[in-house]
Amino acid sequence: MSVRSDRRKLLQSASLAALAGIVPTLARAQKIPGGTLRILVGFPAGGGTDVMARYIGEKLRERTGANVIVENRAGASGVIAIDALRKAPLDGSVIMYGTAATTVALTVTRKAPGFSLDKDLTPIGLTGLTSTVYVLSPKLGLSSLREYNDWLKRNPDKRNFGTTALGSNTHFFGVLLGNAIGSPLEAVGYKGAAPLLADLMGGHISAGCGGLTDFLTHHQAGKVKIIALSASRRLPFAPDLPTVAELGYPSLGYEGFYGFYGPPGMPQGLVDAWSQELKACTESPDLKQKLYNTGLDVMTSGPAEFATRQTALVQSFAEMMRKAGYAPE
């Protein structure tokens, strides 16, 4: 056999081996389905989670031509939406836009949350981070944490704050902030941000604690005053907000998240396809700016990174709850 013949056979063998490696990759590559796509949201229409989901849904519609429906399954702090996702088909037509305030918080604070974080939700990708803020009523006329602490010492009977949900990070953050500044605070539970905002603006309660996405636009309009932010750094879309680290309390740092989930057992090809599409949508300049305006610190990731962040947050949330003296119910 000639050297040329041997070389030809070697090249043919190499080509076949390369093709064998490519074919499975091509077979695995998938796209998100067409037709009607549903995004489940565990909160009522008009709230921050719903608004963000609709922004993202509109961008999906623009990019894919699909009929994208945001479906509000409000109730039980988001568990009703998780239950609907758990029963959804595995063809990629149904996903959920979720928040750590549901997935992580309920896992940690409830003995029986009504779902399994590991078994009932398939992480698709991170959309962004969200911070907790401590806010004051404009009626106080105060502009900083130091001024507020001085005011508390003069008014010890006013050492309470409203929280958008008892047993949540907004509850624990307020308690730990009070402990840190040497003026222990008592939480007053509200059913969401809207009634708390009304009482803050009316001067019926002096301070409150909630998610940045609930308070940013009201702070910017001068209707409340944010004096502490749990983020790890100053945010580019809200550079006037001081972080707890800057204020001298770095151990109070906390960042929750928003992201997308698929039903349990969703094929990995569809998970990856959705992750890539949602990342492309979220990082488009116009959508990113809309999400910034809601108070979301936009940050995307793939499924593995999202799952890792979620696991880490479960641990840090549990530690926050322990320090606040709270036990699972």
C-alpha 123/C-alpha 309 separation (Å) is: 11
C-alpha 181/C-alpha 273 separation (Å) is: 47
Looking at residues 190-219, what average pLDDT do you find? 93
Q: How confident is the model at residue 3 (pLDDT cuts 50, 70, 90)?
A: very low
Looking at residues 233-240, what average pLDDT do you find? 93
Residue extent(s) of CATH 3.40.190.150 domains in the chain: 36-129+256-323
Q: Does residue 229 have a pLDDT over 70? A: yes
Residue extent(s) of CATH 3.40.190.10 domains in the chain: 131-252
Per-residue pLDDT tens for 97-126?
999 999 999 999 999 999 999 999 999 999
Query: Terminus-to-terminus CA distance in the chain, angstroms?
Result: 80
Classify residue 22 by burial, with Cβ atoms within 10 Å: 0-12, 13-18, 19+: exposed
Residues of the chain with pLDDT > 70, as a percent, come to: 91
What is the CATH topology of the domain spanning 36-129+256-323?
Answer: D-Maltodextrin-Binding Protein; domain 2 (3.40.190)
Beta carbons within 10 angstroms of residue 34's beta carbon: 11
Q: How confident is the model at residue 165 (pLDDT cuts 50, 70, 90)?
A: confident
Contacts of residue 171, Cβ cutoff 8 Å, sequence gap at least 6: 163, 165, 187, 189, 209, 324, 326
Q: What is the CATH class of 131-252?
A: alpha beta
